[in-house]
Amino acid sequence: MIYIVFAPGTYGSYVLQSLYLYSEFGNKQNLKFNANTGSSHDFRDSEVWKEHFTVMHLGQNTKPAFTPNDKCISILPNCDHNLDYFNNQFIKQDHGYLINYILSHITESNFKYKLKSFWNYNSEDLDNIPKWILREWFSFWIEDCWKNGYNKSDYEKLNSTFSFDANNLFVNHVNLFVHMMEKVSIKRVADLEQIEKNSNAFIKLQKYHNSQINCNKWVNDLCNGKVNSTNPCNTIFDEAYIQKKLRDKNIELLCHNLNEFPLYSGDMLQYLKPK
């Protein structure tokens, strides 16, 4: 058995699909992605690969139980891309259902308690919480959530046959798959041209890759007073991350009733107040 162990959103289903279809198991079939999200979850949800692979995230009660004959591939989260992974999981796994995604990380009672205690939100209607409240709450919570879900050292501690930084899927993809398959003793039948073609198709569809880098750049533009820099946000978590990073720089976002960020930095500046 070959284990693929990865943090949520770090492209483990794509790696699974690639290894299966580039090998004698899949016999050179082309990879298929969700055209809207770039997800490989449809393949992951099939049955064809389960004889050869096990996929899993690490968690409090989920640790690989290797036998001497098993091999393990671990995908290491890159701290410069945690926001990318968080967005991936939100869109690809939870299909953008915000409350469902929140409640996969926190109990409903705790969620309601925080809303009531810190934002005076007492309604039982969780589907119509003002966006500015959710964003501000996320801005205090998001990096704590990442510490639990994207702890690189947890994956480094595994006795892996092969491990790699998730970002290498974007910068060294052909050699990465060739070397990976050699290390876990999978016979490759796909040629390099096919791997290159599929990898480029995957990369083209990854809308949330570099979310964190792009948000950091916008924070810097705002701090430097640039007026024509375009808002890079694709999700509420992008906005929350920006609010958090501004707060780290002692800049308060005047967020009350600000349910949508302006498109350009010049319009955003009016909502920023140095502490």
DSSP string, the chain: -EEEEE-TTSSHHHHHHHHHHHBTTTTSPPP---TTT---HHHHTSSTTTTTEEEE--BTTB-----TT-EEEEEEP-GGGHHHHHHHIIIIITTT-HHHHHHTTS-HHHHHHHHHHHH----S-GGG--HHHHHHHHHHHHHHHHHHH--HHHHHTS--SEEEETTHHHHSHHHHHHHHHHHTTPPB-S-HHHHHHHHHHHHHT-TTTTHHHHHHHHHHHHHTT-SSPBP---SHHHHHHHHHHHHHTTEEE--TT--S--SBHHHHGGGEEE-
- The reported pLDDT for the residue numbered 61 is 58
Low-confidence ranges of the chain (pLDDT < 50): none
Q: How far apart are CA 272 and CA 254, in angstroms?
A: 6
- The reported pLDDT for the residue numbered 104 is 87
- The reported pLDDT for the residue numbered 159 is 84
Q: How far apart are CA 140 and CA 119, in angstroms?
A: 13
- The reported pLDDT for the residue numbered 62 is 67
- The reported pLDDT for the residue numbered 82 is 97
- The reported pLDDT for the residue numbered 96 is 85
φ, ψ of residue 165 to 5 degrees: the values are -70, 130
Radius of gyration of the chain (CA): 21
Buried b / exposed e along 22-34 (16+ C-beta atoms within 10 A): bbebbeeeebebe
- The reported pLDDT for the residue numbered 60 is 56
Contact 243, 255 (CB under 8 A): yes
Give 254's Cβ-side CA count (13 Å radius).
Answer: 10
Which residues, at least 6 apart from 114, have a Cβ–Cβ distance to it below 8 Å? 137
Neighbours of 199 (CB within 10 A): 20
Domain ranges of the chain: 2-77+151-204, 79-150+210-275
CA distances from 99 to 102, 129, 131, 183 (A): 5, 10, 12, 41
